Amino acid sequence: MRLSLVLLLLSIVTIAVATSAQAQNYPWCAYYGGMEGGGKNCGFTTIQQCQATVSGIGGFCDRNPMYEPPPGPHPHRRYPD
């Protein structure tokens, strides 16, 4: 009984770990600056969200160079420069 529970738990953990992680696919990135470098967060759907995040803490927003829009027909969007 104990062995079957251990095997079940091991199977669940193996499946959870084996599931591939997907990167965030959003069009805007926040770049944070600092003396030791900085960071990047590409989890914003609008430039307004990104700008609100960097407001007051420093940094800037730019388009995500790795962004790929979802497949299928979608309207063409112009992003402000």
How far apart are the C-alpha atoms of 54 and 28, rounded to whole Å? 12
Helix (H) or strand (E) holding 50: helix 47-54
Predicted confidence at residue 58, as pLDDT, reads 86
| Rounded average pLDDT per 10-residue block, the chain, 81 residues | 71 61 79 80 95 91 90 71 65
Give DSSP secondary structure letters for 9-49. HHHHHHHHHHSPP-----SEEEEEEETTEEEEEEEESSHHH
Token output for 70 = 């979802």
Compute how many other C-beta atoms are within 10 angstroms of the C-beta atom of residue 2: 6
